[in-house]
Amino acid sequence: MATRVPVASGRLLSSVRKWYYNLSGFNKIGLMRDDTIYEDNDVKEALRRLPENVYNDRMFRIKRALDLSMKHQILPKDQWTKYEEDEHYLMPYLDEVIRERKEKEEWMKK
C-alpha cells in the first residue's frame, strides 16, 4: 500500500529550512552558508579559482563577522543575510575541483 505525501510537504520543508537557517546564527553576523565551509584542500583550491570580486566580498564578510564576534554583537536585523539571498557561490567551483580530483585519482590507478 503506497503512502501519500501531503501537498504541503514542500512548503513545510521550506519553512523548516528557513527556520533552521535563522537558528544557525551565521546570518546574524552577515555570513553566507559557503563562508562557513571547513577549508580542506578541495575548498582551498575552489577559493583560489573564485573571481577576485567574489573572493574580496567573502573576505569582507568573514572579517566583519570576526569583528562582531569579538565584540559580542550582531548586525541590525535589516543587514542579516536572508535565506532567499544566500547564494551558493562556491559550490560550482568546489564541484569542479572534486570532479577533477576524482578524475586524477582514476587516472593514477591505471
Residues in Cβ contact with 108 at an 8 Å cutoff, skipping those fewer than 6 apart: none
Q: What residue spans of the chain are helical by DSSP H?
A: 9-24, 41-49, 52-70, 91-109
The arithmetic mean of pLDDT across residues 23-47, rounded, is 95
Q: How far apart are CA 29 and CA 18, in angstroms?
A: 16
The structural domains of the chain, ordered by start, are 16-109 (1.10.1090.10)
Q: Residue 79 has what pLDDT?
A: 94
User: What's the pLDDT tens digit per position in 55-109?
Assistant: 999 999 999 999 999 999 999 999 999 999 999 999 999 999 999 999 999 999 8
pLDDT band at 9 (very low <50, low <70, confident <90, very high): confident
Percent above pLDDT 90 for the chain:
82
Q: Residue 5 has what pLDDT?
A: 55
**pLDDT for residue 1 is more than 70:** no
Q: Residue 66 has what pLDDT?
A: 97
Q: Residue 2 has what pLDDT?
A: 53
Residues in Cβ contact with 102 at an 8 Å cutoff, skipping those fewer than 6 apart: none
> For the chain, what is the radius of gyration of the CA atoms?
18
Question: Amino acid identity, residue 10?
Answer: G
Q: Residue 103 has what pLDDT?
A: 95
CB of 35 closer than 8 Å to CB of 58:
yes
**pLDDT for residue 14 is more than 90:** no
Q: What is the dihedral of CA 74, 80, 86, 91, to 10 degrees?
A: -20
